[in-house]
Amino acid sequence: MKRVRLLASVAAGSVLLSATALAQEVDKKAERAWKAKCASCHGQTGKGDTEQGKTLKVEDMTAAAYQGKKDDDLKKAILDGVKMDGKEVMPAFKDGGVTPEQADALVKYTRTFKK
């Protein structure tokens, strides 16, 4: 009986390690997507402190106002883009190959920018 419990514990530990490794890989994929698609405007840390970000007056993602937004609203902005005064200020990334799952990962990634 003890051997069965030990094997079950070892197996559970393997699953836990695998889940942790998977989460880290998802985070790395989100970070790569951020750098490829978002950082040119929003900056590496989400502050919008790039030349392009300053020109477009992008929102500081470290601020409470951004962090208080709903995940679904942020996902929609990523996928459908953002318009202000009828002018596109952020493209729709669903047209640029971002899947809904990747948009979820990007939203989660932006949550790491909290002050």
Residue from 85, 84, 106, 108 nearest 94 by CA: 106
Q: Where are the domains of the chain?
A: 26-113
Burial-class residue 112 by CB neighbours within 10 Å (0-12, 13-18, 19+).
middle
Tell me: the pLDDT tens digits for 81-114?
A: 999 899 999 999 998 889 999 999 999 999 999 8
* Class of domain 26-113 (CATH, top level): mainly alpha
Closest by CA position to 33, among listed 114, 88, 108: 108
pTM: 0.76
Does 24 have pLDDT greater than 80?
no
